[in-house]
């Protein structure tokens, strides 16, 4: 399976995973230090392989709707550490301008969708964007613009997710649903979230293709997610990828995750450590090469945090408090 993946892609994925891990850990530390991050910090620890694989397999003309634990996917898709730091630190220089924080960031114009908190709610907008591209003649047969929407074992049970994924199947849009079964919906175990044997079994019920992979194995994620995206791009309709993995952090930095069962912990490794070992063992990277990648990630994140920290925070007296773009609705008229 790994033989078809180019070494350059593996290195690119590893870099994105390390950058995300470094950034998530740095923001968690900033939160723990107090005073700089309001709310909480949310980590994708343990989910970097799956998320990063999606990010690097997408093109800039595609759509990515990340969720809470998708820092790796965001970086793979093109987000910069500086943009992440600006939103996390609530700076006006960031796209969200202090109006949104932490993971609620993105840019509709680049296809990196700014999530709302309600799980499943980002899937139908991705479907709508893909329908819009088809209707406006922007889609090219065999080279379709693809959308990837993230969800987890918790979000799979929302009505919003079900409605949206069913519409995707009916419309046969090139959507890949990226399901991270990380064993816990906040603190709730999977057996209290769903009763099917495996979430991928739901694919047939929607009439879509289901794929399953080990979310702790980055090469498996790259192969599986890459194949699903390629199938969607080729016009084979929506795809569902379900990866088994474990969230190696709390729901947020405020949560010590003490409810995670020791047996469960013993079943899942750390995808970043695992990938580092594999790439070194197979001679794709040297030990020095790994060190250089880690050091580069550290420098990038430190530079981003340092710069964002000097940038302005919002001023309530100067804030534009209008909820609408139309300031003068009395004079809104069709041409």
Partner 1 sequence: MKYLEAIRLALSDLLATDQRVFIYGQDIAGPFGGAFKATKGLSERFPGRVLNSPISEDAMTGVAIGAAMDGMRPIVEYQFADFASVAFNQLVNHAGSTYYRTGRPCPLVARFPVGGTPGGGPFHCQMPEAWLSNHPGLVVVAPATVADAYFMLKDAVACRDPVCFLEHKYLYYHLEAEFDPQSGEHPGLGRAVVRRPGEDLTIVAWSGMVHHAIAAAAELEAHHGISAEVVDLRCIRPLDEETILASLSRTGRIIIASEGWPFGGPTAEVAALVAEKGFPYLDAPPVRLAARDTPIPYHPELFSAHHPDDQAIVLAALELAKF
Contact between 60 and partner 1 per CB under 8 A: no
Closest to 177 in 3D by CA, of 142, 141, 202: 202
Segment contacting partner 1 (CB under 8 A): 19-27, 119-127, 183-191, 239-247?
A: 119-127
Q: Residue 177, CB half-sphere, CA atoms under 13 Å: how many? A: 39
Nearer to partner 1, 123 or 203 (CB): 123
Contact between 318 and partner 1 per CB under 8 A: no
Q: Are 102 and 326 in contact (CB under 8 A)?
A: no
Segment contacting partner 1 (CB under 8 A): 41-49, 50-58, 261-269, 326-334?
A: 326-334
DSSP letter, residue 312: P
Nearer to partner 1, 133 or 212 (CB): 133
Cβ neighbours, 10 Å, residue 273: 11
Contact between 164 and partner 1 per CB under 8 A: yes
Distance of CA 200 to the CA centre of its chain: 19
> The tokens of 152 are what?
């987890």
Contact between 116 and partner 1 per CB under 8 A: yes
Single out the residue of 3, 136, 258, 310 in contact with partner 1 (rule: CB under 8 A).
Answer: 136
Single out the residue of 121, 234, 257, 284 in contact with partner 1 (rule: CB under 8 A).
Answer: 121
Closest distance to partner 1 from the beta carbon of 95 (Å):
7
Contact between 160 and partner 1 per CB under 8 A: yes
> The tokens of 126 are what?
């991705």
Cβ neighbours, 10 Å, residue 144: 21
Contact between 326 and partner 1 per CB under 8 A: yes
Closest to 51 in 3D by CA, of 83, 87, 20, 88: 20
The Cα–Cα gap between 123 and 66 comes to 10
Q: Which helix (H) or strand (E) holds 171?
A: helix 159-171
Q: Which helix (H) or strand (E) holds 88?
A: helix 81-88
- Site track 7-46 with partner 1 (rule: CB under 8 A), x = hit: ----------------------------------------
Nearer to partner 1, 85 or 129 (CB): 129
The Cα–Cα gap between 90 and 166 comes to 36
Single out the residue of 39, 78, 128, 289 in contact with partner 1 (rule: CB under 8 A).
Answer: 128
- Site track 68-97 with partner 1 (rule: CB under 8 A), x = hit: ---------------------------xxx
- Total binding residues toward partner 1, as defined by CB under 8 A: 47
Contact between 333 and partner 1 per CB under 8 A: yes
> The tokens of 185 are what?
């919906």
The Cα–Cα gap between 210 and 248 comes to 25
Beta bridge partners of 30: none
Contact between 148 and partner 1 per CB under 8 A: no
Pairing state of beta strands 188-189 and 184-185? Answer: antiparallel
Single out the residue of 2, 5, 11, 104 in contact with partner 1 (rule: CB under 8 A).
Answer: 104
What's phi and psi for 189, nearest 5 deg? -75, 155
Contact between 298 and partner 1 per CB under 8 A: no
> The tokens of 52 are what?
């990063």
Single out the residue of 12, 99, 172, 274 in contact with partner 1 (rule: CB under 8 A).
Answer: 99
Single out the residue of 32, 170, 196, 204 in contact with partner 1 (rule: CB under 8 A).
Answer: 170
Contact between 265 and partner 1 per CB under 8 A: no
Please give the residue ranges that form the binding site for partner 1 (CB under 8 A).
95-97, 99-100, 104, 106-109, 114, 116, 118, 121, 123-133, 135-136, 159-160, 163-164, 166-167, 170, 322-326, 328-335
């Amino acid at each position: 399976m790994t033989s078809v993946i180019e070494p350059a892609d593996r290195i690119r994925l590893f870099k994105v995973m390390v950058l995300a891990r470094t950034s998530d850990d740095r923001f968690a530390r900033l939160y723990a230090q107090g005073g700089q991050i309001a709310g909480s910090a949310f980590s994708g620890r343990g989910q970097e392989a799956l998320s990063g694989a999606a990010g690097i397999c997408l093109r800039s003309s595609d759509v990515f709707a990340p969720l809470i634990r998708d820092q790796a996917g965001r970086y793979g898709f093109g987000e910069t550490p500086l943009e992440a730091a600006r939103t996390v630190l609530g700076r006006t220089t960031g796209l969200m301008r202090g109006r949104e924080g932490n993971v609620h960031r993105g840019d509709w114009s680049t296809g990196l969708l700014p999530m709302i908190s309600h799980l499943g709610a980002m899937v139908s907008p991705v479907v709508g964007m893909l329908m819009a591209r088809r209707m406006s003649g922007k889609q090219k047969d065999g080279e379709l613009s693809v959308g990837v929407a993230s969800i987890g074992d918790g979000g799979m049970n929302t009505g919003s997710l079900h409605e949206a994924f069913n519409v995707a199947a009916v419309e046969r849009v090139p959507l890949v649903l990226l399901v991270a079964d990380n064993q816990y919906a906040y603190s709730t175990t999977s057996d209290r979230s769903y009763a099917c044997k495996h979430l991928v079994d739901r694919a047939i019920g929607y009439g879509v293709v289901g794929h399953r992979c080990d979310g702790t194995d980055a090469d498996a994620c790259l192969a599986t997610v890459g194949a699903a995206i390629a199938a969607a791009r080729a016009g084979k309709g929506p795809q569902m990828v379900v990866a088994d993995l474990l969230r190696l952090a709390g729901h947020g930095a405020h949560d010590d995750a003490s409810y995670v069962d020791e047996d469960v912990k013993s079943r899942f490794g750390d995808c970043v450590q695992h990938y580092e070992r594999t790439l070194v063992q197979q001679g794709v990277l040297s030990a020095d090469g790994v060190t250089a990648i880690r050091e580069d990630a550290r420098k990038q994140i430190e530079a981003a945090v340092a710069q964002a920290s000097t940038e302005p925070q919002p001023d309530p007296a100067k804030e534009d408090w209008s909820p609408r773009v139309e300031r003068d609705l009395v004079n809104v008229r069709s041409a």
